[in-house]
Chain A
Amino acid sequence: ETGVTQSPTHLIKTRGQQVTLRCSSQSGHNTVSWYQQALGQGPQFIFQYYREEENGRGNFPPRFSGLQFPNYSSELNVNALELDDSALYLCASSYLAGGPNTQYFGPGTRLTVL
């Protein structure tokens, strides 16, 4: 069974640029959620994708957008990067059904905005 993978591991961008982060879900999972974890804090929910559509969104501006592909992998896109976007971005996959829908996390992408 393949776990959740994310790429790239690290990324450095400058303010105003755009970035795309990628996530491959665990085999058998159909849902991908994205979280932002600032240094020293707990993760904050950005959004979730299920069946290629956004299934819920946290308190993040529209410049944070995403996609889910037929193979359930996902992308997180951030436009017009700001210094405060520097964080660890975590992807989590789950199987959407009744019950706990436990989310399993990838290793994260560390984004630094200069």
Chain B
Amino acid sequence: AQTVTQSQPEMSVQEAETVTLSCTYDTSESDYYLFWYKQPPSRQMILVIRQEAYKQQNATENRFSVNFQKAAKSFSLKISDSQLGDAAMYFCAYRSARSSYKLIFGSGTRLLVRP
């Protein structure tokens, strides 16, 4: 069974600085999708970025980028120029390409942004 592990329960970053959130996953499959979701105190899960495993190029969305290391089964999220609005829980999620439905989430990392 696939699993997703986020080993950092909480991270802290100074406003305008850069922070990296870690995520590792375990799968025997070669084709899958990876996601980072943000959950602010309002509770709504918001998609931050996604990565297709067959793509070697790391995904980037404005200040958010990933470091996808397929062999190491690692999928970290880098947030540049951190803003106060980035403070939230961040969840890493995996979906097999063979399954259209099931997202498997990690336990989350709480990101604190210091002004």
Contacts and interface: CB of A to CB of B under 8 A. Distances in A.
Given A42-B91, A90-B45, A104-B47, A96 B100 contact: yes
Contacts of A43: 45, 91, 103, 105
A33 B103 contact: yes
B103 A103 contact: yes
Nearest to A101: B100
Interface stretch (A14-22, A60-68, A105-113): A105-113
Interface string A1-43: 0000000000000000000000000000001010100000111
Given A41-B107, A42-B91, A56 B45 contact: no
Given A41-B107, A42-B108, A55-B100, A100 B52 contact: yes
Given A33-B103, A48-B100, 13 more contacts: A42-B4, A42-B106, A42-B108, A55-B101, A56-B102, A58-B102, A90-B45, A92-B103, A102-B50, A104-B47, A105-B37, A105-B45, A108-B44
